[in-house]
Amino acid sequence: MIILALSSGTSVDGIDVAAADIVATGTQIEMTPLGHREVEFSAELSRAVLDALPPAATTLEQVCRIDTLLGQELAAAALAELEHGALAGQRATAVVSHGQTLFHWVQDGSALGTLQMGQPAWISEATGLPVISDVRAADVAAGGHGAPVASLLDVLLLGERTRAAAALNLGGIANVTVAGAGVEPVAFDTGPANALLDVAVHRATQGRQRVDSGGALAGAGRVHEGLLGALLDHPYYRQTPPKSTGKEMFNAGYLDEAQRHSGTEHLGGEDLLATLVELTAVTVADALEPYGVREVIASGGGTQNDVLMQRLRARLSVEVTTYDSLGLDPGAKEAYLFALIGFLTWHGLPGTVPACTGAGHGAIAGRISPGASPLHLPEPLGATPTVLRVTPHTD
């Protein structure tokens, strides 16, 4: 089954488009990555999404516009991949679209709802293919956090490790999965990563830069211990898993409050970025300390920040590699994750790991929008996968 997957993370910088050929044999799944590329959002859409994110107020008109514009740009990215990308001349079975998270509703440590937007009807209309979307809500309805859904991919890839290992995703929010042979898997969001770094870069460069490429600005600064302490005082870090968070909690307002509390409102941009890098390194290391992991495999946009990776290695004091070592592009991991979830949904199997999300049971993820033809689903797979193998694509 060839699946085209579309993913957009909390950094709101664009769409990851990935294609994969996936086959199930007994309890083993084999995934062959066929190609990956990134498509930037239009400036109009990116600004509309960022302006609507908490703690900003919005209107139903803005919600409708965002849902439609996201759907249209996701559709254009999917169609371009089918016509001119890795899938040109091949027939995909379905498209999986995660959409863009606009709100993740967590109250008193429980997830009560989650909202990903990007109207799938536009994708099915453009491509003629069925679209699997809204892949987090079923887990929330089953009592889970709907996050980190990456734990599904992580557990299947790391389950045969002979020692406890952690998969670390450095997106807008950082999350970890701990797994290995004989290890009861656990996964949770550790706190902010790129979400705050992007805010600080935008401020430090008066909007000229969206990211601190390579960590150059952070590398030129010094950690302010007073601000770091104020940032670490947030109660989220003391909560026990399962737990999840997002920009609803860790946003510019959180940063402003910590700076007011520590008297660092006028701290230079380079020092601010160095401090925020240290915040991510400290919170990840503290979160993993109870699990005795022997290696950490990182993915996400944060792996491109050399200073962040250096500070993680210093704080963790264990081997830190990237998802390249497992056969997947670290920047494309989540897109390939959604391809895997789509495959499982298509074949009637749960798309989450209850031990990692906190759900009462594994839930079949998402909803399916039919394409141009009547919808025909196969018989459900009889065995639950326990292992994922990644095999290289050969032309």
The pLDDT tens digits for 221-248 are 999 999 999 999 999 999 999 999 999 9
Single residue among 303, 326, 349 that ends a domain in this structure: 326
The per-residue pLDDT for 47 is 92
pTM over 0.85: yes
Residues 202-217, mean pLDDT to the nearest whole number: 92
Q: Which residue has the higher pLDDT, 10 or 169?
A: 169
Question: 217: phi > 0 → left, psi -120 to 50 → alpha, else beta; which?
Answer: alpha
Q: Return the pLDDT at 395.
A: 67
Query: CA quadruple 291, 294, 299, 300: dihedral positive or negative?
Result: positive
Residue 358: pLDDT band with limits 50, 70, 90: very high
Identify the weakest region by mean pLDDT among 80-89, 234-243, 322-331, 335-344: 80-89
What is the SS3 assignment for 250? coil
Averaged pLDDT of the chain = 95
* 97 strand-pairing partners: 6, 133
With 80 as the cut, is the pLDDT of residue 10 above it?
Answer: no
Residue where a domain stops, chosen among 271, 303, 326? 326
What digits encode the pLDDT tens for the residues 345-357? 999 999 999 999 9
Q: Are residues 378 and 354 in the same domain?
A: yes
> Could you tell me if 311 and 343 lie in one domain?
no
pLDDT of residue 9: 80
| Any domain includes 119 | yes
CA angle 143, 149, 154 (to 5 degrees): 130
Peptide linkage before 148 cis (omega within 30 of 0): yes
Same domain, 263 and 319: yes
Q: How confident is the model at residue 181 (pLDDT cuts 50, 70, 90)?
A: confident
Task: Note whether 308 and 277 are within 8 A (CB).
Answer: yes
For every residue of 79-127, DSSP letters joined together read HHHHHHSTTTTS--SEEEE--EEEEEEEETTEEEEEEEE--HHHHHHHH
The whole domain housing 31 covers: 2-150+330-390
Closest of 183, 157, 156, 166 to residue 284, by C-alpha? 166
Please state, in angstroms and rounded to a whole number, the distance separating the CA atoms of residues 300 and 332.
Answer: 7
Does residue 394 have a pLDDT over 80?
Answer: no
Answer yes or no: is pLDDT of 125 > 80.
Answer: yes
> In the chain, where do the E strands start and end?
2-7, 14-25, 28-40, 94-97, 100-107, 110-117, 131-133, 165-170, 173-179, 186-192, 295-299, 319-322, 367-369, 387-390
The structure tokens 């996400």 sit at 300
- Residues 351, 288, single domain; the answer is no
Tell me the pLDDT tens digit for each residue of 276-290. Answer: 999 999 999 999 999
Predicted confidence band of residue 86 (pLDDT cuts 50, 70, 90): confident
Same domain, 373 and 265: no
Question: What's the total number of domains in the chain?
Answer: 2
**Confidence at residue 87, expressed as pLDDT on a 0 to 100 scale:** 85
Per-residue pLDDT averaged across 183-191, rounded? 95
- Encoding tokens for residue 285? 């290391």
Q: Are residues 103 and 181 in the same domain?
A: no
Cα pseudo-dihedral 312, 317, 321, 323, rounded to 10:
-70
One domain, residues 116 and 181: no
Q: Could you tell me if 317 and 358 lie in one domain? A: no
338 and 310 belong to one structural domain: no
Q: Check residue 207 and give its pLDDT.
A: 87
- To which H or E segment does residue 349 belong? none
38-62: per-residue pLDDT in tens? 999 999 999 999 999 988 999 999 9
Residues 6 or more apart in contact with residue 174 via CB below 8 angstroms = 168, 189, 190, 191, 192, 193, 280, 283, 284, 300, 302
Residues 167 and 248 placed together within one structural domain of the fold? yes
Whether residue 161 sits in one domain with residue 294: yes
What Cα–Cα distance (Å) separates residue 190 from each residue in 232, 357, 385? Answer: 12, 13, 27
Looking at the domain assignment, is residue 340 inside a domain?
Answer: yes
Residue 395 lies in a domain: no
Residue 46 lies inside a defined structural domain of this protein: yes
The answer on 213 and 107 residing in a single domain is no
Q: Is residue 70 part of a domain?
A: yes
Q: Which residue has the higher pLDDT, 16 or 382?
A: 16
CATH number at residue 365: 3.30.420.40
